[in-house]
Amino acid sequence: MSKLSSAEYHTNNFLSPVLFEETIKQIPYEAITIEVAPHGILQPILRRALGKAISNIALTQRGHADNAQVLLTGIGK
């Protein structure tokens, strides 16, 4: 695990720019995006940036009693 989560790896991620706008442009019309994060922090940003044609699914939602339900509800959409 230390090879995949080393100090160098995290330092590089903190110092590297996030090319969010350029990445958003690469998402095709009517795609499904899945946010892999401890909670769906990017959901409002994704909804605004991608519009209604894109389905956004969060794996978890902070404070929700049953995150399996959050995931399955997102997939059901």
The model carries a pTM of 0.61
Q: Which domain holds residue 28?
A: 7-76
Give the count of domains, the chain. Answer: 1
Query: Is residue 57, in this structure, part of any structural domain at all?
Result: yes
Distance, CA of 50 to CA of 27 (rounded, Å): 8
CATH number of the domain encompassing residue 29: 3.40.366.10
What single string gives the DSSP state of each residue in 10-58? Answer: HHHHHHSPP-HHHHHTTSPTT-EEEE-SSS-TTHHHHHHHH-TTSEEEE
Q: Which of 34, 27, 70 is nearest to 49 (CA)?
A: 27
Query: Is residue 1, in this structure, part of any structural domain at all?
Result: no
Q: Which residue in the block uniquely carries the two structure tokens 């959409």? A: 77
pLDDT tens for residues 8-67?
888 988 899 888 889 888 999 899 888 887 777 888 888 888 888 888 888 888 888 898
What is residue 28's predicted lDDT score, i.e. its pLDDT?
92
What is residue 15's predicted lDDT score, i.e. its pLDDT?
93
Query: Is residue 56, in this structure, part of any structural domain at all?
Result: yes
